[in-house]
Structure 1
Amino acid sequence: MNLNFRKLIVLGSIALLAACTGMPSNVQPVSQFELNRYLGQWYEVARLDHSFERGLDNVSAFYSINEDGSVKVVNRGWDSEENEWSEAEGKAKFIDTPDIGHLKVSFFGPFYGSYVVYYLEDDYSVALVSGYNLDYFWLLSRSPTLPQEALDNYIQIADKAGFDTNSLIFPNQDKAQVKTKKND
């Protein structure tokens, strides 16, 4: 893993430690959440800026089950400045029950931050995710891009929840196959 990316993950994790597992007041996790349907590859279509992903494109997340029942999280992005993939592996656990889309995720030791799935398409094709406050937002999709009309709709949902949608970053997804450890 790129040393700078690792340092940024550590700094990001420490920042999340302060708030741990809360969520913004305008955001409520989805109910009837089905982890098995959520597992697999997701592409980052939009995000708010934060240090641990700054400068990365072709960002994806891959979720699978660890032997201990927790969720393995592999975040990956292309660092064009370093001309290499940067990857961080973490672990997520449910805050309450597995049918509520509120998890805590850690990329650094015992320090966890909120991961709140607050909007999810019925077919699990698109998810809107928040951190512990309105500074953390991700629009994830099973496909690398979305039609403009759909994208506008999701941005409107995020705006109504209080996120600063004028500051969204739309990472390039120009690498057809985002690599995972399995196919490197």
Structure 2
Amino acid sequence: MKIKPAFCTLVALPFALITLATEGRTEGFRDENVPMQVEEELDLSRYLGRWYEIARFPNNFEIGCEGVTAEYSALPEGRIKVVNSCHKAGLEGPVDRAEGVARVVAPGKLEVNFASWLSLLPFTWGDYWVLDVDANYEVAVIGTPKGKQGWILARSPQISAEQLTEAHSVLRRNGYDIGALEMVPQN
């Protein structure tokens, strides 16, 4: 039996609305009164490729995830294919993957959607702001205006103490309380 897109939308819409309604009740990890500074000179061609998740603020969609990676590749019309992978139940556990698409909305500011069949609905796109990327494009710090998510990414599974300290500084400058930041186990 083939499931029709209209049926999928009908079934998913209540869940999306519930998510929207409850999202406003969840506190973020940053002071929204602090203006966010993004990497306005972001070179997307250098940003593409594989990134390892070094640290993150807790979120519902990564519960139990370890060995997390994000792979970005170019698509037509300036869009970016996003493939997030994580191991569930430990580094040797089964791999979960989520595929989505990102679009640039302003310099250093992207939006990501993992529900392509609902992409016409504006609330299905999530903010993904590149707050900082080092000169060699080895470490990146990502955040969201409401501060409900944030990540430290790197080209390798581990980073130096100095790189981690600098990433923490970027988060603090953007109003984040790094007390809830959790390190992500990597191979």
TM norm. shorter chain > 0.5: yes
- Tell me the secondary structure at the aligned position of residue 159 of structure 1: helix
1:86 matched to 2:99? The reply is no
Could you list the per-position Cα deviations for residues 14-69 of structure 1 after superposition, in whole angstroms to 9, with x for gaps in the alignment?
549x79xxxx5521221121111000000110100000011100001000012443
The TM-score with structure 1 as length reference comes to 0.77
Alpha-carbon contact 2:51-2:155 (below 8 Å) kept: yes
- Supply the AA of the counterpart residue of 1:141: A
Which of 105, 115, 140 is equivalent to 2:112?
105
Counterpart of 2:45 (choices 30, 33, 36) is 36
Partner of residue 162, structure 2: 149
Paired residues, number: 158
**Residue of structure 2 equivalent to 1:134:** 147
**Separation in 2, partners of 1:136, 1:156:** 16
For structure 2, list consecutive stretches of 5 or more residues without a partner in the other structure: 1-11, 25-31
Amino acid at match of 2:174: A
Amino acid at match of 1:142: R
Q: Percent identity?
A: 31
The offset of 1:75, in angstroms, is 0.5
How far apart, in 2, do the equivalents of 1:15 and 1:132 lie? 16
Distance in 1, Cα, partners of 2:169 & 2:35 = 14
Give the residue type in structure 2 aligned to 1:103: L
User: What value does the CA root-mean-square deviation take over the aligned residues?
Assistant: 2.6
Aligned to 2:81: 72
Question: What's the TM-score, normalizing by structure 2?
Answer: 0.76
Q: Residue 45 of structure 2 aligns to a residue in which SS? A: helix
Amino acid at match of 2:57: L
Q: Unaligned stretches of 5+ in structure 1?
A: 1-6, 175-184
| Partner SS for 2:51 | strand
Aligned equivalents of 2:20 and 2:43: distance in 1? 29
User: Of 164, 169, 175, which aligns to 2:182?
Assistant: 169
1:158 Cα deviation from its structure 2 partner = 1.1
Q: Which of structures 1 and 2 has the bigger CA Rg? A: 2
**Superposition misfits of 4+ residues, deviation over 4 angstroms:** none
1:103–1:116 Cα contact (<8 Å) kept = yes
Alignment of 1:14-25 (within 5 A): 14-15=19-20, 24=32, 25=34
By percentage of residues, which structure has more helix? 2
